[in-house]
Each structure stands twice: as C-alpha cells, then as structure tokens.
Homo-oligomer: A and B are copies of this chain.
Amino acid sequence: MHGRELTVTGEYLGRLEHGADWRAEIETLAADHGVDAGWFWAMGAVQDAEIWYYDQTDREFRSVQFDERLEVAACVGNVARLDGERFAHTHAVLSRSSGQALAGHLDAGTVFAGECHLRAFADPLERTYDEQTGLDLWEP
C-alpha cells in the first residue's frame, strides 16, 4: 500500500452537456476550475458508450462499443496528469431497459444527461508507465 494524506482545495458540481462526450465533459469541468488532481462521481444517461477492458495477460485494452441508449447507473474516477495532459480515469456502470448492467473503463460516450461532483486535491497526481502491469499509474 502506497498512501498519503490529501489536502482538498475545492469542490465542484457540473452538469454535462447534452450531445458532448462524457469523459471530455468531466475533463472540461476540471479544466474550467484548474483542477489537475481530484476524485469524481457522476450519474446520468448516455446515447452510446465505448467500454474498455484491460487484458491483463496480453497487456492490451479491448474495446466494446455499445450503440444503444443506456443509463449511467454509477460513474467513479479520478483526475491526474498523463503525458502532460489532464486525464479523467473514468469507470462506469451502465444499464439497459431490462435492468441488465454493463460495466468497465469508460473511454467515451455521448451524453444524454449527466451530473458530476468533483473534489480537487492540492497535491499533483502524475501517471507514469508501470512495468508490472503495463498501465499508466500514479504514485500517491
């Protein structure tokens, strides 16, 4: 366990724009308030979604595209710097009209409606390549 205490510098509420990209909207909320490191939660609905699953053996992301309208039952993630850019690492649980749930790393999705709560940390979070997993991870 690598952990550290945080200082919170502010918190924000955002409404995601209809028709925009879900993850880009969260990154815009962070950018609008100068947030480089933070934790967020969101909920709402999307018009489509691209979900990524990381193949831990082949060390590659597998993409699944859902061209259907889905609820965003839950969304959680954090904001850090990756290759000099602000990056919202976003996971989501989506659902169909039957109640069936889909989930994973949310790379993209067209917002139908979305509500987001973001908390900003004073200390920077920088993602760098991790040999053991093949992922870009931050060291808290």
Q: Which residues of A contact B (CB under 8 A)?
A: 1-6, 8, 10-18, 20, 25, 28-29, 32-33, 39, 41, 43, 45, 47, 51, 53-57, 62, 64, 66, 69, 71-78, 89, 91-105, 112-113, 115-117, 121, 125, 130, 132-133, 135, 137-140
Contacts and interface: CB of A to CB of B under 8 A. Distances in A.
A121 B101 CA distance: 31
Quickly give the copy total for this chain. 3
B99 A74 contact: no
A2 B17 contact: yes
A37 to B, nearest CB: 9
B43 A41 contact: no
A95 to B, nearest CB: 4
A100 B94 CA distance: 10
B95 A102 contact: yes
B91 A51 contact: no
Given A56-B112, A74-B76, A104-B71, A14 B33 contact: no
Given A133-B112, A133-B113, A1 B13 contact: no
B5 A12 contact: yes
